[in-house]
Structure 1
């Protein structure tokens, strides 16, 4: 698989994550950890079907340390994310949680064979400013706890570390994500039973939203992201990830949930400009 193809495959995860907010709204009133359990369960089933084509023997050759890493990454990120927003449901919390693409770009410089160029960092900062306009523009409660914001910061570090360290596990087959998903689903069930009241979707549309989440943003996206992180252009994918909040907002506008504003247009220019700058630097690197 070429680096360009792997980058394109990884980019599909960003497209799928742009539908996360829309489908999550549609899945109400299902509580977060229960939703996590259902969606990762669906994602794990997709992974089993994919792995069956290659043979399950490929999973037996993976070290338990790799499985522990993947499970901690997926479950830990989502647990920190949900807890952060429960303690501090503010726009600022969302912005802190969305530092992970910038961290991916910065941390990539420590990877063997990778060279971090100034345009990558500048592009990431420009794209981050565009994402900041989107996230802060959504608003939230007037005040939030410092603990919640601290957990949001740990959340962003967790996902960036998971993504970057996936590069170091390039020889590990992507089929291993199947186990990550199924174990995350099991841990989410346990956490849900301990912390939440069980509430199921109230309509066929709600069930459809849950199914769509499990198939895409909280399912197949983790498999395509794994391919992108292991074999693609990691700096370009990091900067391009800032398109997710923009595309998410556009999806909400198309669904009639949000209204179009000039802020969205300006954010689009900043994110596109930052991504273009990073892409140019990657082209020169190649």
Structure 2
């Protein structure tokens, strides 16, 4: 992905016929952004393969890999471009990447993992809702309904049909999880304000995130040296779900259909569970089957206008 490609326009989105006629360029950008969802689906599997490496240490290592892989293209784009980026772009990029992980880990430290993870995963729904604030975007009922179906499927998937039991002693963790969801959804939607910032610049955001994570690691954790295959797992994380995914997500949120990306994001936990089942690290169950139906149905509902416009062009 090169700088010229990331500077393409968002496309026409407006009322009536214009909204239905999504340009092919926008659909392509949406497809690129959706690759991030596929990459995030492997996060749980490769994280388990890293053993007992502390979260901030793992984040620092993975984002270092992510920054290094994008640095050649970023340098080719010119250090002058990096120095000339608006201050808001730096705050948004670093704040989004590091802020999400910081509050997510804070939530996991102060609340049960299932509860914290589910609350944090409100961000796809929030992306769909916040998209209504963007110029030229209109939030239709089927977009919200599709996102809610995806949330319902994720709830069933994460809780295993056992429900969610919130307790007051975990208030700090729950609050951190809510902030986590707000940070990532706000980052994803506000990213649309900087379509002129090439995706190559994500390399600098990743390196800054790695540095901040390293500071948190020194302050709060004890270093664990990776062994054997754990090094490979860290490398894969940096190439994929905790690194490379942010490059394609950046392109998709800047130039694609943000509402569809928000809805498609609910496929990540579903595909993650399927991958764990396929590798023998989880067992199939009825909640997985029902969640699959809800998430797939929600995605189809949310993409109804896109599917109609595609049929017209065909």
TM-score above 0.5, yes or no: yes
Confirm whether residue 42 of structure 1 aligns to residue 83 of structure 2. Answer: no
User: What do you get for the CA RMSD once the two structures are aligned?
Assistant: 1.9
Aligned to 2:203: 178
Alpha-carbon distance, 1:152 to partner:
0.2
How far apart, CA to CA, are the structure 2 residues paired with 1:231 and 1:142? 38
How far apart, CA to CA, are the structure 1 residues paired with 2:112 and 2:225? 23
- Give the 3 Å change call, closer, same or farther, for CA 22–141 of structure 1 in structure 2: farther
Residues 92, 191 of structure 2: 8 Å contact kept: no
Return the TM-score normalized by structure 1: 0.95
Answer with 44-53 or 164-173: which moved more.
Answer: 44-53
Aligned to 1:218: 242
Aligned to 2:128: 105
Confirm whether residue 79 of structure 1 aligns to residue 102 of structure 2. Answer: yes
Confirm whether residue 254 of structure 1 aligns to residue 278 of structure 2. Answer: yes
Unmatched 5+ residue regions in structure 2? Answer: 1-7, 9-24
Residues 62, 176 of structure 1: 8 Å contact kept: no
Aligned residues: 285
Alpha-carbon distance, 1:59 to partner:
2.1
How far apart, CA to CA, are the structure 1 residues paired with 2:42 and 2:288? 17
Return the TM-score normalized by structure 2: 0.86
How far apart, CA to CA, are the structure 2 residues paired with 1:98 and 1:16? 16
Aligned to 1:3: 26
Residues 91, 138 of structure 1: 8 Å contact kept: no
How far apart, CA to CA, are the structure 2 residues paired with 1:211 and 1:127? 31
Aligned with 1:189: secondary structure? helix
Aligned with 2:240: secondary structure? helix
Confirm whether residue 232 of structure 1 aligns to residue 256 of structure 2. Answer: yes
Confirm whether residue 23 of structure 1 aligns to residue 46 of structure 2. Answer: yes
| Deviation readout 1:251-286 (Å, 9 max, x if unpaired) | 111111000112111101100000000111344578
Residues 27, 201 of structure 1: 8 Å contact kept: yes
How far apart, CA to CA, are the structure 2 residues paired with 1:191 and 1:92? 24
Instruction: Decide which of 35, 58, 83 is 1:60's aligned counterpart.
Output: 83
Alpha-carbon distance, 1:63 to partner:
1.9
How far apart, CA to CA, are the structure 2 residues paired with 1:112 and 1:284? 23
Aligned to 1:70: 93
Unmatched 5+ residue regions in structure 1? Answer: none
Residues 91, 137 of structure 1: 8 Å contact kept: no
Residues 119, 281 of structure 1: 8 Å contact kept: no
Alpha-carbon distance, 1:80 to partner:
0.2
Confirm whether residue 268 of structure 1 aligns to residue 292 of structure 2. Answer: yes
Q: Which has the larger radius of gyration?
A: 2
How far apart, CA to CA, are the structure 2 residues paired with 1:255 and 1:5? 31
How far apart, CA to CA, are the structure 1 residues paired with 2:137 and 2:234? 38
Residues 89, 141 of structure 1: 8 Å contact kept: no
Alpha-carbon distance, 1:119 to partner:
0.2
